[in-house]
Amino acid sequence: MAFRPALFALAALMLIAPVSGGAIAQQPDALQRLLRGAQPTGDVQPRVPFGREEMQLSFAPLVKASAPAVVNVYVSQQAKPVQSPFAGDPFFEQFFGRRQQPRAQSSLGSGVMVDASGIIVTNYHVIKDADLVKVALSDGREFESKVILKEEEVDLAILKIEDKAGFPAIQLGDSDALEVGDLVLAIGNPFGVGQTTTSGIVSALARSHIGVSDFGFFIQTDAAINPGNSGGALINMRGEVVGINTAIYSRSGGSVGIGFAIPSNMVRAVVAAAKSGSDHFERPYIGASFEPVTAQIAEALGMARPSGALVANVAPDGPAQKAGLKPGDVVLALNGAEIEHVDALGYRLSTQPLNSTVRLDILRKGIEDEISVKLVRTPEGASATAVEIGGRNPFSGIKVSELSPRLAQRLRMPADVQGVAVIEVQRGSPAENYGFRPGDIVRAVNGEEIISSEQLQQATSQQTRWWRFTVQRGGQVFNQVLRY
């Protein structure tokens, strides 16, 4: 069984068939009232459809209003040239050449217009490494788009297209208002067959660790999401986008009724970052790290069940310390929303605006308390200039900078990590061919410890064919020796 990004989308409508009068009489009183359409006191509540008239109701008006804002995304890129096995041999290179010609690759996906000015949301994996991204509207118009923000961690990308006439757009809804069992529509371009609308229900909320990205708060739906539907819209019954379809759980690559979407509240935060002019999504800084509450920890703290997020560390002079948060505290809720798991806290914090104040319900030594924390920008630390490495060496094509808490957050690294990190790798460069990635930390070159970007630039300017270097990636350290 595997999780697969859904580069295309679908869904299946599930309705409850009419129930005869005799069948209704056998049900419990509460269910009888629900089936007959009787409403509890107070606001109107959802109920099961019944009768011929209700079974003939249609989603057509909802689709007609929403579908024009769902677009097809066409991506093309040049495949990496393949190195000849005879490269470096003058005799064989006469006959076989140095490398094969690059080949064009293309892929399809979907997107959602969330602003009439031409702002489109899609998945990061749809446009990753793209040389050209085109957008086709349902009315047949096509546009070349500009990628204005990419965020791999949450698998979202923001595109921009231009037209004086403007574009149809869909409003982003409140994904926190969703409940399991709510009807939803999935609109996208499955398998490249053209725009398709299907329906289903919300199967579960707050799904995490599905293996698509580091984001851990997905909406699960039985809408049949298929390849090509990535980046498409998950619509509620008010015609609002409540999610961006992203992945499926499948053995064969086709839908088996388990699909995942990124909640619209997360999408709204990323769109706001793009509108502000940022090329990446910056999370608010709380100045603390958190861990899951295991069954053993819950028992030791006298909790009835494992829930919440355990405070592991608090940064000196950070917002959390100033608010009085301490290691060993358990965060139970944020602004009244219950925190079931540490991933839920990360999601709730990510959707909050910079410089906002949040209310945390905490458990400390068996006593519940409430504190307010102001969320700020991640500290920049000592100013560091990005340096591009060129020349004849295996590092040629990378851009590096000294790590700060803000840069570490952008590279999805712990805030306290120090060193000179790779922040960009030029496509087709020697550095890419040797496997360098953003987030790699260069620790040493030819026996010299690297502590600054300028020092790395100087070390790579050596006139030598032999290179020894040490690179840290995640929790692993790699020592490499090669002749370049």
In degrees, rounded to 5, the angle at the alpha carbon of residue 458 between the alpha carbons of residues 457 and 461 is 90
Give the C-alpha separation, 98 to 82, whole Å. 9
**What residues have CB less than 8 Å from 102, skipping those under 6 apart?**
78, 79, 80, 81
350 classed as catalytic: no
58 classed as catalytic: no
| The token pair that represents 248 in the structure block | 């499926």
Sign of CA dihedral 370, 376, 382, 385: positive
Give the C-alpha separation, 433 to 450, whole Å. 22
Helix (H) or strand (E) holding 4: strand 2-5
Give the C-alpha separation, 484 to 475, whole Å. 27
Q: Which of 70, 105, 13 is nearest to 189 (CA)?
A: 70
Longest dimension (CA), the chain: 91
Residue for token pair 């957008």: 135
| The token pair that represents 462 in the structure block | 């050596």
Q: Which of 311, 364, 309 is nearest to 341 (CA)?
A: 309
Give the C-alpha separation, 371 to 358, whole Å. 8
Point out the catalytic residue in the list 125, 250, 361, 404. Answer: 125
Helix (H) or strand (E) holding 337: strand 337-338
Cα within 13 Å of Cα(201), Cβ side? 9
Query: Could you tell me which residues are beta bridge partners of residue 110?
Result: 72
**What are the backbone dihedrals phi and psi of residue 342, each rounded to the nearest 5 degrees, phi first?**
-60, -30
Residue for token pair 């995942």: 260
Give the C-alpha separation, 268 to 70, whole Å. 17
Query: Could you tell me which residues are beta bridge partners of residue 163?
Result: none
Give the C-alpha separation, 455 to 384, whole Å. 13
State the Rg of the chain over Cα.
Answer: 26
Residue 105, SS3 per DSSP: strand
Residue 96, SS3 per DSSP: helix
Start-to-end CA distance of the chain, whole Å, equals: 42
230 classed as catalytic: yes
**What are the backbone dihedrals phi and psi of residue 483, each rounded to the nearest 5 degrees, phi first?**
-105, 120
Point out the catalytic residue in the list 110, 145, 155, 289. Answer: 155
**What are the backbone dihedrals phi and psi of residue 362, each rounded to the nearest 5 degrees, phi first?**
-125, 160
Beta-carbon count within 10 A of 277 CB: 8
Catalytically annotated residues: 125, 155, 230
